[in-house]
Amino acid sequence: MDLNSEGSGLSKVELRTILETDAYTGLMDDVLMDLIEKNGHGTAKFADENCYQITHTNSGFRAEFGNCVLNTTENVNGVLEVTYSESAGTTSFTVVYTNFFIGAAELSGTRTIGIRQSGETRIDLAVQSDMTVVLPEGTVLTEKGSKVLQIQLGNSLGDTTYALSGSWTVSDGAATYEVDIRESLEGNLACPYAVRGLMDIEKNGLEIGVDFGDGTCDNEVILVYPNGAREILAL
């Protein structure tokens, strides 16, 4: 049976939407980390540090970007309002996006990131997101929920590992997907794909399991349907 023939399955496009929404909502996170580490005084992420202006406040800073080139590919424009807080060994900052553009994609909403470092090699990031992204062709993506990313630093990209957990909701304007990570998605920085872990996705009342594998670095996942049917999907 073709599980996707009547929209009852999960297509590659849909899974990519779920996995890649964070490519927009999380793209500025490393830039923000750099800005915060330097207390707002410059970042190596942009080719020209004169393209943005930092205004300090009592609880954080305001960053206004004017056609900044990010990674030589995307121009960044708009305003970020960053507010700090600190509690029980965790430093948190809340970012509000206003008229913010990465290329022709518009971002709006709020993202809160809590940072906790354990020793010299482990970093935990707790992310609470309520974001909307309008893509250049008009597609509206939304993401709301929480994720925890644990990073274990190593001596190489292959030795630097991560584990992602959490639950969130993704909408692409046509459908809504409830996502829950049942077993942490794990990988390393030498592989562009998660190599193990289990994710549950609810689509229109149908719950589909996504098995990311046995540790092998490849672009395939296994979809598991309620009736026991299994389908290999290449990302």
Render pLDDT for 155-179 as a digit per residue (tens, 0 to 9).
999 999 999 999 999 998 788 999 9
Q: Are residues 54 and 40 in contact, defined by beta-carbon separation less than 8 angstroms? A: yes
Q: What is the DSSP letter of 46?
A: B
Between 52-56, 105-109, 172-176, 213-217, the lowest mean confidence (pLDDT) is in 172-176
**Dihedral class, residue 220 (left if φ above 0, else alpha if ψ from -120 to 50, else beta):** beta
* Cα dihedral: 62, 84, 152, 20 (round 10): -50
Q: Are residues 198 and 213 in contact, defined by beta-carbon separation less than 8 angstroms? A: no
d(CA 168, CA 143): 7
Q: What is the mean pLDDT of the chain?
A: 86
Cβ contacts of 10 within 8 Å, gap of 6 or more = 4, 201, 203, 208, 210, 223, 233
- Chain segment 85-124, per-residue pLDDT in tens: 888 778 899 999 988 998 888 999 999 999 888 888 898 9
Place of tokens 């672009």: 219
Please say if the pLDDT value at position 3 is more than 70: no
- Token code pair at residue 227: 């009736």
d(CA 187, CA 159): 10
- pLDDT bracket for residue 50 (50, 70, 90): confident
Partners of 78 in the beta sheet?
Answer: 65
Q: What is the DSSP letter of 160?
A: -
